[in-house]
Structures are given as C-alpha cells and as structure tokens.
Structure 1
C-alpha cells in the first residue's frame, strides 16, 4: 500500500514504521533532516519525506492515511498558549487531511486518526467500552471530541474512518514510562494520591499491532479503545513497576502536590478510566501483553 503518515517521528510513529517496511510511506514532518536522522535505522528506502500537505490538491495517490500528529499533551502546564498549541497541532492537520480526502476522486480507502481515552474523562471504577457517549466541558475531552468529529467528516462509502482512543502507551526508549521510572530508580517510587484511579495502559507493541490490524481489516470503522484488556489501578501499577525494577515502593505522592505542580493537567493522573478494548477483541485481535506484569517485565528486560 501507499500510505501517508503524520506523527511518524514520535514515540508511537517510530515503532509503527518498523511494521510498515513492506509499504511505501510518505511522512509529513516539520524538519526533514531531523526526521531522517531519527529514522536512520528504520528507513529501508520505503519512506519519502514532505514538509507540508499544501503540495497536494487531493490524496488520490494514497491507499490509506494514518494521522498521529499532535503536541504531547502532558509535557507542559496547560497555559492558554499551550492549550492552543495542543489543539492546533491536532485539529488543523486533521482538517487539512479531511479537506484533501473530500477533494479526491479516488480517495484513500482508510483514514486512521488519533485520539485518546481522555475523551471519557473520570469514570471512577466503572468498566466501559467504546459505546459510552460522553458530554463534558473539561479540556481533555474537548480536545479529543473535536479531533474525532473532524476526522469522522471523512467517512463515506469510499473511505472508512477509524479513531484511536489511546491509553497510556508503555515501551522502552520514551513515552510515559521513561518519566514514571525515574522515582523508582531513585528508590522513592509509590502510588499517586490514594492510587485507586484506574489506568488504561497498552504495550507499545500492541499499540502498533493494533494500528496495523485496523489498517488491514476492511470492515473496521469508528472509535477503538487502544488499551490492554486488563486495566489496573495506579496502586497496582505502581507496585508492579517497583517489583519489576527491584526497587522500594512506599512513598505516596499527595494529590495536592501534583495539582500545585501541574495545575489543570493533573487530571491526566487522577481521572479513573477503566476502558475496555471491546471492539478490537470482538474482531479477533489478540494482545501480546494483556497483563501489566508481563508487559513491564518485557519492557524492563529490553531496556537492560
């Protein structure tokens, strides 16, 4: 297939490209030279690089589009400026892709676009799947809701749209786990708040396998929870990570301290999201790492 990919130099995108070596990939990037350095060992001659979608009048030449672009949502406090950057980096590129799909006489048959489990907000300890409809006014939901709405405009008899409601992606060499591990390595790890909040996680390998599965499954359409079938509480995750690293697990980070440090974005740590990947599993997708203990053992082993 001939694919258009955005966000290919990010944590998920870099791993995804390793699974797309039999396809021809056009990668949208802000800095071609930097992208080529980042993907030096991944590019087998199947990747072309572009700096703007403005070079296209349509997307007739592409069989599918995978849209993973977006400013990291948890890296900085949510100032007004940062919120705008988060929104613009997701909404504007998605709007442009949809515009080009609509302008195509033979549009891509598949459009896979990012989102996050932040769409659901705090659901306490109640398990749920993709059928849950949410109407909230918090920032994380607003970002995801509009991002999804824009992407779904591309849905037609010629183009199917899949939405990736992504959980916390765990893997070696970056992502959330790299930040989480530091306190444990220093011997000061522990749960966040009382640790009762559920954490929807997914191993990086299952994340990219899930994307490829949706790419290759012609009847896949709509939102999909990209998270492992067994969500765990933050306390369980914390204890398992400490055990895997062979480090202590006794300190608790108080909620007030994180709210003080992170402001509004601390909701990403305290919202309880017990999302189930019902649609994926019912379609026959098998997770390589359905349980947190084996997932963390694999990641820590690879890191060593």
Structure 2
C-alpha cells in the first residue's frame, strides 16, 4: 500500500484528495493546524518527519485563501502560510531516513503575466509582476532551497480549480442565480481552469511519470474568455440573462465582499505543455462538460 502525506488537507481541494487517494487504496496521512484532527501539527517538525519517513508522496496544499482583501495583515498571512509551511516541510524531509520519492508543492498559474496574446507554458511562459507573482516566486524558491537531494520536487502551477462543493463555483453560481452572471470587465480576459478530478488525476499521473521534472502547469487544454465562462455558468444554472459588471463596479463590489478584482480581471492563459507532451488525457477538457458534471454532482 502506498502512502501519501497531504499538508493543508482541510480545504476544498484537500478534502477531495483525501477521499480520492483513500478510494484508490492509498494510506492517507495529514499535516494541519490542529493536531487533534490532523496526524501532525505545524510546528511539530519531529512529528511531521515521522509521518514522512517511508511515505511515497508528499503533497503540500497549505496556504491562506487569496480570496480576501490584500490588507497588510492578509498579505503577510498569505505569504507566511505558504513559505513557512514549505520551509518546515523541507526541514522535516531533510531529517527523514527514507524520505518520500516525490514532493509536489502547490504553486499557482498566476505566476505568469496577464496574457491575451498567447498561452504561457512551462518553457517560454513569461513571469508577471505584482503581489500574487511575488507570492508564487517565494513559494517556489522555498521549495527549491529544501535540502532533499533524493526527492523529486515539482511546483504545481495550478489554474483556477472548479468542482462541486467548493472552489470558485459557489460565487459564480450565486451571481448567475441572482441575474448578475454577465461578463466581468470587458469579458475578454482568458480564464484558465481545471476540474478538481483532473487535478487529482494529474497528480497521480506525475507520480507515475518520473521523467517529468521542474514546474508543471495544471490547466484544462480548452480555455475560455470571461464572457464565455459566464455564459456557460448561466446555462448550467438555467439563468436566462446576466447583467454585465464593468471593471469600476467590480472594484467597488470587491471592497464590499472583501476580495480582490485580480481574481476575475487578470487574463490567465496557462498551458499544460508538460502534461500534454507526456500523454495525459483530461477527463474534463471543455468547460461546458465540466460545469454539467459539477451541476450533476451538486444535485445528487
């Protein structure tokens, strides 16, 4: 039986991964804030080392949600919750007698620039600028600095994750049901996304394909514009119309709901070239099918 250690397993993605790994016959161990719930707590490096010793895979998903206002306190916590947890995992891995063969650490597709002209892949994608990019850079640099010579380390540059029960779908669905599911801004920004089932399948695929190294983008091969996204969301929710939201109104609304407009106004065009070239097959390559699957799961 293989063993996976999931750090940051209490969120939407982590909960799905725990269930899917267990269903696939893996032994699942967790690292989290609460030692009475997780198998080891942050700050107890010795306990984390004991979990990691003889495990097959470490998957780190820890990090405060970026769906918040970028106040100084929130920005500091966004950075700390990623960099410090990754650094602690590195110390625990270095202390293992038999560390995991693979360490996959969450990163983000928003590390690339705002792009409408061409997709950004792992080979010639261009780094962007701003707070979110600096967070991603620090996250990946901390992983690279870990003293784990016998472990393959891969930053997972994950695009927007969609799935039943969480992710971005809840606010989008709510907007559509209220008649507010129109395009956001000019609607031309590219929306790269991944169904949570394909995210899990990509992680297992990477574990099985040892020849893949370096950062890996994880995104569906079929991107859409924001206008196309919101049209598909309206269709999935049987909403006959959606009022468009101009950028200036989004900026006002973001203050009220305590989030940032970058989450919907930045054009993220992320291409998963390494997965594609290695032969990965997406179960949900197109948005309409993914949304139909999510809606079906929601109503079961």
Given the two structures, how large is their TM-score scaled by the length of structure 1? Answer: 0.89
For the residue of structure 2 that corresponds to 1:3, the secondary structure is: strand
In the alignment, structure 2 segments of 5+ residues that lack a partner are none
User: 2:200 aligns to what?
Assistant: 208
C-alpha distance in structure 2 between counterparts of 1:61 and 1:106, whole Å = 5
Question: 2-side partners of 1:188 and 1:261: how far apart?
Answer: 12
Q: Which moved more, 1:81-90 or 1:240-249?
A: 240-249
Give the structure 1 partner of residue 40 of structure 2. 50
1:138 corresponds to which residue? 130
Contact preservation (8 Å) 2:46, 2:92: no
After superposition, residues 214-293 of structure 1 pair within 5 angstroms as 214-262=206-254, 265-293=260-288
**Consecutive unaligned residues in structure 1, runs of 5 or more:** 36-47
Alignment partner, residue 19 of structure 2: 18
CA RMSD after TM alignment: 1.9
Query: 1:102: how far off?
Result: 2.5
Equivalences for residues 108-187 of structure 1 within 5 A: 108-154=100-146, 157-187=149-179
Q: Is the 8 A contact 1:189 1:248 kept in 2?
A: no
Contact 1:125–1:273 (CA under 8 A) maintained in structure 2: no
Deviation above 4 Å: which 4+ runs of structure 1?
none
In 1, Cα distance between equivalents of 2:118 and 2:211 = 29
CA 1:140–1:11: 2 relative to 1, 3 Å:
same
Distance 1:82 1:250 in 2: 32
Cα deviations by residue, 1:171-211 (Å, 9 ceiling, x for unpaired): 11111111111011122311101100000111111111111
- Could you tell me how far 1:155 is from its partner in structure 2? 7.3
Structure 1 SS opposite 2:249: helix
Q: Which moved further from structure 2: 137-146 or 157-166?
A: 157-166
Rounded to whole Å, the distance in 2 between the matches of 1:135 and 1:226 is 16
Query: In the alignment, which residue of structure 2 is the partner of 1:5?
Result: 6
Q: What SS is found at the alignment partner of 1:70?
A: coil
Instruction: State how many pairs are aligned.
Output: 290
- Structure 1 residue 156, shift from structure 2 partner: 5.5
